[in-house]
Amino acid sequence: MNPQIRSKQIEQIVVTAEQMRNIEERIFSAGIPVAALMEKVAGKITQRIKNLFLEKSITPEHKIGILVGPGHNGGDGLVVARELYFMGYNIVIYSPFLKRKELTQTHYKYVQSLGINLSSNIKELEQCDVLIDGLFGFGLEREITGEIAEDINIINHWNKFVISIDLSSGIHTDTGEILGTAIRANITLCLGLWKPAFLQDTGLDYIGRAELIDFDIPLMDINAIIGESPILNRITQNTAINSLPLPRPANHHKYKNGHLLIIAGSKQYTGAAILAGLGARASGVGMVSIAVPNSIKPLLSLQLPEALIIGCPETENGAILELPENLDLSRYQTIVCGPGLTLEAQAIMERIFTANCAIILDADALNILAQLNPVFTLSSRKFPTIITPHLGEFKRLFPELIALEKNQIKLAKQAAELTGAIIVLKGARTCVATANQVWINPDSTPALGRGGSGDVLTGLLGGLLPPVILAKKPIELIVNTAVWWHSQAGILAARERTELGVDAYTLTQYLILALTQSLKTIN
C-alpha cells in the first residue's frame, strides 16, 4: 500500500484500550517478538524526542529526567533513556517500583550496568530541564494514590517541560478521566493508534499537544479487530475535504447548489441571524433565504444583500410570532432553526418538524425542544435531523442520559441511537454521532469560546447540506466537514490575531481563507 494512503487511514482510526491490546496480541501471535517491537517503537520515540530537543534548544549539557513505570511503558522509557545516554545526554532515571515486567526489568539491569543515575527519590529530578514520562501507558484503570500520586503532584508543581510516552500517566485511556492525579504534559506521543482520551474534553489539559508515533501496525490486523467501518473515528483534513462537492461541474447553477432557509433572530439577538447567514454565505450554497422578525429585516438586507430576507410577524418583545402562511417549506433542501430566536418562538417549531426536508436545530430551537418530548419528537421525523447542542443544552435535552453517563462520546452516540438524529455535541473536541458511528474533531482552539461562534457553525453546516442532498449523497460526512472547517477558521484566526478569543464576525471572514489554505496543502 502507498505509505501516504496508509498514513491518512491510520490518522483516522481510534481504538479503545481493549482493542489496542487485541491488535498487539495479533502482532505478537504473527511472530514479531515483544522485545523487537519495543526496540522499534522506542527508537521512533527517541528520534522524535531528539527532534523536539532541537526545536527547544535542548542540548547534551541539559539534564533529562525519565520516569519509568513497571510495565512496557516503563520499558519504552528505559530504551529511550539508553539511546539518549549514548547520544551524550545527561540522564537521570526515576523508578519508584520494585517489581517490573520481565522485559522492562531486563532493560533496567542494562541501564544500571551503564552507570546511568537511577533513583526512587523524586527530588533527584528537580534539577532536570526536561522530564520524559514513562510511568503508565494505555490501559490504566485504577486510581493513582499514595507516594506515586504525591510524586506526580510534585512534578506538576515544578512546572517543567514534560513529554509523555503514549498517554499522560494517570489518564483513563477510554474516557480521558483523571485517575486521582495525572502528569501534566506539554507534549504526548501517542503510540501506534489514537485512543479516545485524546478526543475528549476531560484530560486535554494534561495531554498538551498530541502527536501520533506510527510504528507500522498492519491494517489487516487493525481491521480484524475493529472492522472495515469502525465505530469511532477522527475527523481529518483529508476526510473533511474529500466530502466537499468539489470540483463543481461546469454547468452548475444556483438551483443545483441548493436552497437553504434560516429561521433565526429577534430584536434582542439580531446578530445571531446575521452570523448564521454569513456562515452560510461561505459554504457556497446556491441560495439563502432568512426568515426574521419584520423589525430587523432591513439590518439583515444590509449585511447580506444576496440573501432573500423574509419578514415575519413578531411578538411584543420582537421575536418571531409565526412564519408567513404563504412560506412554502418544500422549496428548501435544508432548514436551519434556532440562532437568536428566544423561547417565544415556540409556535414555529411545530411547523418546522413537519417539513419534508433536512432540518438543523440549534440554540433556542433546542431549548424549545427540551420543553417538549425530545426523544419522541426527533425520532418521529422521517427526514434527516441534525441537532447541535453544547453540553448544557444536551443536559436539558437528555437529562436521563447525563444521569447515567459522563463520557461525551457515549453520550452523543446514545442520543443518536434514541432519536435517529445526527448529534453534533459541541466542545473542545466536538463529537458528531449517528446511531452507527462517531466522528470527533481533534483540532480546535479556545479562541472559539466566544458568543456567536456556534451561530456561524450552524449557518455553515446549513449551507453545505443542500448540494449534497440534491446529489442524493449521504449527509453524515458533510457534517464532519462543517465542524472541521469551522475549527480550522478559528485556528487560523487565532494564529493571526490572538487566542484570547476570535469574535464571531471575524471568524466568518476566515472561513474561505482557511479552506483555501487547506486545499493547497492537500493538493
- State the CATH number of the domain containing residue 21: 3.40.50.10260
Are 219 and 298 members of one domain? Answer: no
Strand order of the β-sheet with 232-234 is 232-234, 438-440, 431-433, 422-425, 385-387, 358-361, 334-337, 259-263, 287-293, 308-312
Region for residue 196 given its phi and psi (left: phi exceeds 0; alpha: psi -120 to 50; beta: otherwise): alpha
174 labeled part of a ligand binding site = no
Grid coordinates given for 121: 527519590
The pLDDT of residue 246 is: 80
Tens-place pLDDT, residues 350-377:
899 999 999 999 999 999 999 999 999 9
- Coil vs helix vs strand at 351: helix
Are residues 222 and 262 part of one domain? no
* pLDDT score, position 163: 98
Q: Rounded mean pLDDT of 179-189?
A: 97
Q: What is the structure's pLDDT at 118?
A: 95
Three cell numbers written together for 347: 409556535
Q: What is the H or E stretch that residue 210 is in?
A: strand 209-213
Cis peptide before 298 (omega within 30 of 0): no
Same domain, 343 and 402: yes
pLDDT in the model for residue 316: 95
Indicate whether 52 and 190 sit together in one domain.
Answer: yes
* Total count of domains within the chain: 2
Q: Considering the domain boundaries, does residue 522 fall inside one?
A: no
427 is an annotated ligand-binding site residue: yes
Residue 64, C-alpha cell as written in the block: 533529562
Give the 3-state secondary structure of residue 132: strand
Q: Does the annotation place 143 within a ligand binding site?
A: yes
The span from the CA of 91 to the CA of 119, in Å, is 11
Percent of the chain whose predicted confidence (pLDDT) is above 90: 89
**Residue 253 assigned to a binding site:** no
pLDDT, residue 1, reads: 64
Distance CA 481, CA 241 (A): 7
Task: Determine how many CB atoms are found less than 10 A away from the CB of residue 110.
Answer: 13
Question: By three-state DSSP, how is residue 184 classified?
Answer: coil
Task: Give the mean pLDDT of 304-316.
Answer: 97
Instruction: Find the domain containing 41 and state its range.
Output: 3-226
- pLDDT tens readout for residues 446-499: 999 999 999 999 999 999 999 999 989 999 999 999 999 999 999 999 998 876
List the CATH number of the domain containing 300. Answer: 3.40.1190.20
299 and 419 inside one domain: yes
> Has residue 505 been placed in a domain?
no
Burial of residue 311 (number of CB atoms within 10 Å: 0-12, 13-18, 19+): middle
For residue 103, the model assigns a pLDDT of: 97
Q: Is 498 annotated as a binding residue?
A: no
Distance of CA 217 to the CA centre of its chain: 23
Q: Is 277 annotated as a binding residue?
A: no
Q: What is the mean pLDDT of residues 416-424?
A: 98
Q: What mean pLDDT is predicted for residues 321-338?
A: 96
Q: Determine if residue 490 is labeled as part of a ligand binding site.
A: no
Instruction: Verify that 221 and 255 share a domain, yes or no.
Output: no
Of 196, 226, 256, the position where a domain reaches its end is 226
Specify if 482 maps to a domain.
no
Q: Would the pLDDT of 68 be above 90?
A: yes
Residue 340 labeled ligand binder: yes
Nearest C-alpha neighbor of 360 from the set 383, 333, 387: 387
- Rama region for 244: left / alpha / beta (φ>0; ψ in -120 to 50; rest): beta
Give the least confident one: 121-125, 207-211, 367-371, 443-447: 443-447
214 among the known binding-site residues? no
Task: State yes or no: pLDDT of 252 exceeds 80.
Answer: no
- β-pairing, 438-440 vs 431-433, is antiparallel
Consult the annotation and say whether 463 binds a ligand: no
430 is in an annotated binding site: yes
Residue 140 annotated as binding site: yes
Same domain, 142 and 290: no
Given the C-alpha cell 418562538, which residue does it identify? 345
Whether 220 and 246 map to the same domain: the answer is no
pLDDT at residue 523, as a whole number? 59
> Is residue 506 situated within a structural domain?
no
What value does the mean pLDDT of the chain take?
94
Q: Is 69 marked as binding a ligand?
A: no
With 90 as the cut, is the pLDDT of residue 269 above it? yes
Segment 489-510 mean pLDDT: 90
Do residue 34 and residue 90 come from a single domain?
yes
429 labelled binding-site residue: yes
Q: Is 137 annotated for ligand binding? A: yes
pLDDT tier for residue 347 given thresholds of 50, 70 and 90:
confident
74 labelled ligand-binding: yes
180 annotated to a ligand binding site: no
Of 193, 226, 259, which one is at a domain's C-terminal end?
226
Same domain, 154 and 44: yes
Q: Is 48 annotated as a binding residue?
A: no
Residue 263 lies in a domain: yes
| H or E stretch covering 480 | helix 476-496
Name the pLDDT band for 310 (thresholds 50, 70, 90). Answer: very high
**Is the pLDDT reported for residue 255 higher than 80?**
no
Rounded CA separation 73/71 (Å): 5
Q: Is 498 inside any structural domain?
A: no
Residue 426 counted as an annotated binding residue:
yes
Residue 175 has pLDDT above 90, yes or no: yes
pLDDT tens column, 86-123: 999 999 999 999 899 999 999 999 999 999 999 999 99
Amino acid found at 452: G
Does 391 fall in a domain? yes
Query: Is this prediction's pTM over 0.85?
Result: yes
Is residue 272 marked as binding?
Answer: yes
Tell me the residue length of the chain.
523
- Looking at the structure, tell me whether residues 266 and 185 fall in a common domain: no
Indicate whether 222 and 261 sit together in one domain: no
State the residue for C-alpha cell 474534553.
201
Asked, for residue 493, whether it belongs to a domain, the answer is no
**Mean pLDDT, range 156-181, rounded to an integer:** 96
142 annotated ligand binder? yes
pLDDT at 147: 95
